[in-house]
Amino acid sequence: MFTNFRFWWNTKIRPRFVSHYWCEFWDWREKKKTVGWYILNREGDMIPWVHFDQGLICLYENMITKIAPPIN
């Protein structure tokens, strides 16, 4: 139950109130590089969930490339 709460908090609630950091990563479902964003926890470590247009994917910091925010 605690794991479910932590997942819910880190992916639904916390992102509403903290800075977002942009990254590029390999989306193995679509087989291409994709741009997404992630957030940091209270200790300053990356929460291992990257958000992007298609949803959410579990990645760690060594699996992403940090980039500047895309220009819309």
Query: Which neighbouring-strand residues pair with 63?
Result: none
* Whether the predicted model's global pTM rises above the 0.85 cut: no
pLDDT, tens digit, for every residue of 14-69? 888 999 999 999 998 889 999 999 999 888 999 999 999 888 889 999 999 999 88
Burial (CB count <10 Å: 0-12, 13-18, 19+), residue 44: exposed
pLDDT over threshold 90, residue 2: no
